[in-house]
Chain A
Amino acid sequence: MLEVLQYSFIQNALIAGILISIAAGIIGSLVVVNKITFLTGGIAHSSYGGIGLAIYLGIPVLFGATIFAVLTAIIIAIITLKNRTRIDAIIGIMWASGMAIGIIFVDLTPGYNVDLMSYLFGSIIAVSNEDLIFMSLLDFFIIFIILFFYKQILAVSYDSEFASLRGINVKFFYTLILILAALCVVAAIKAVGLILVIALLTIPTYLAETFANKLSSMMMISSILATIFTIIGLIVSYVYDISSGASIIMVSVIILTVVKLIGLKR
């Protein structure tokens, strides 16, 4: 089986899996402790509008998706900060309209025949060298921001009222957290697709919560768990010839269930 490692697309898939797992572990922890999983889902799905637009205009797809996701994150941040009670309906609207925009632009693209499913469910085998560079830059950016603003992000996530009393700009950091989530979603689209990205953000983190007593250690444990899930998922996907995204998620769900059941028995 080891001889498959010679193929460059397999190497790329493994590297992409590790890069995405690092981002997903860090950002997933932020998403889970801030209880913004649904918001992140909205951002993920509306970024599909950016994918459609990029295909229509003939620009790099990840670039289009990034712009769209970041804009959605900023809009959601503004609305949440203004009127928290209406947020669920607004996310629902952005979720669906982003998808609709994406589908319409793809329909309008002349002679278009790229596999749409690859963006919905991911195709880690098709990761290019340019994608890898994009993912690495994103990882560096996320890690840098987290190291630099750890104290502020922790304070805003745990107790935003107290943070504002200590002179921390809560609105800025809340928006920053959503933008980071948007960037992470875009990076993970290639690997697991935008429908499954939420699972990669939440499952390792949910499991890590049991072992971590600090946000920083939760981020590290989640990243390691995500890497393990992704690599096992890729192997399973290769051996049984099934979709990589779905395989990664099912491996995560099965391991999560087993660990939680063992935990219950004790």
Chain B
Amino acid sequence: MELINISNLSYRYHKTDVLENINLSINENDFLAIIGPNGGGKSTLLKLILGLLTPQSGTINKKIPNSLIGYVPQNTNLNIDFPITALEIVLMGHISSKKKIFGYSKDDISCAMKSLEQVGMEKFANSKIGDLSGGQRQRVFIARALCSNPKIMLLDEPTASIDVKGQREIYELLKELNKSICIVVVSHDISVLLNYAKNVAHINKNIVYHSLENVQKNINTQNEHLCEVELLSALGKTQICCNHNH
């Protein structure tokens, strides 16, 4: 089932074209990797989908309400001194069915604890967010997005400033979540990401879309080592035709 359909989308910022004529369909069960150079418009696309920005032309047709779109923003390292616990952050994501006048209801808290368990962070519920490591913090933000029972989760650079082991753990977690939720990840670490994603969209003002099964057929990554720069430029081309020797 299609969740989001983007057609002929263009976005300009201060007379500069950031995105041009984007067409993209995001479906249930997708694990979509959005890659591309810095300033290519990846984060902008996510913000357009979320409705934080409004496109100048084109349409974004969302088949699900905004409340079912989970979002894990970039730069979760900001505001580290803020006195807030992991649990309180996750609670921000929960939309309670029963409104309680003061504080949080039992329902709110049990839902948030369940989300923390899903990402393996339940032991740290009452830890101050600044006392956690980068990877742990990222898990908390994934739990916050999970707390609203999303159908689709958008993540903006979830593994930036996390060590390689932490990166793999985050992707393993996303793979697990992908069994029931559509995952869209903006990322730089393509080589790791491509082991988990099912489709990839290369965005540099324009979009180039690949299904990863085809990519793996055409690029033999097993025998010949392909460096990230070459891989990125290969994915930026509409046709992946030949093996690159390195």
Contact = CB atoms under 8 A, between A and B. Distances in A.
Interface of A: 29, 33, 147-148, 150-151, 154-155, 157-159, 161-167, 209, 212-215, 217-218
Contacts of B82: 33, 157-158, 215
Contacts of A154: 84, 88, 92
A159 B73 contact: yes
Contacts of B229: none
Contacts of A165: 50-52, 66, 71
A165 B52 CA distance: 8
A166 B83 contact: no
Contacts of B89: 158
Interface stretch (B55-63, B101-109, B172-180): B101-109
A163 B66 CA distance: 13
Chain B CB within 10 A, most for which of A154, A163, A165, A215 = A165
B85 interface: yes
Nearest to B50: A165
Dominant secondary structure at the B interface: loop
Contacts of A217: 83
A52 to B, nearest CB: 38
Nearest to B102: A147
B83 A212 contact: yes
B86 to A, nearest CB: 10
A151 B92 CA distance: 8
A224 B95 CA distance: 33
A60 B91 CA distance: 44
Contacts of A167: 67, 95
A55 to B, nearest CB: 40
Nearest to B87: A214
21 contacts: A150-B103, A151-B103, A154-B84, A154-B88, A157-B82, A158-B79, A158-B89, A162-B71, A162-B93, A165-B52, A165-B66, A165-B71, A166-B148, A167-B67, A167-B95, A209-B81, A213-B84, A213-B85, A214-B88, A215-B83, A215-B88
A12 B131 CA distance: 43
B161 interface: no
A213 B127 contact: yes
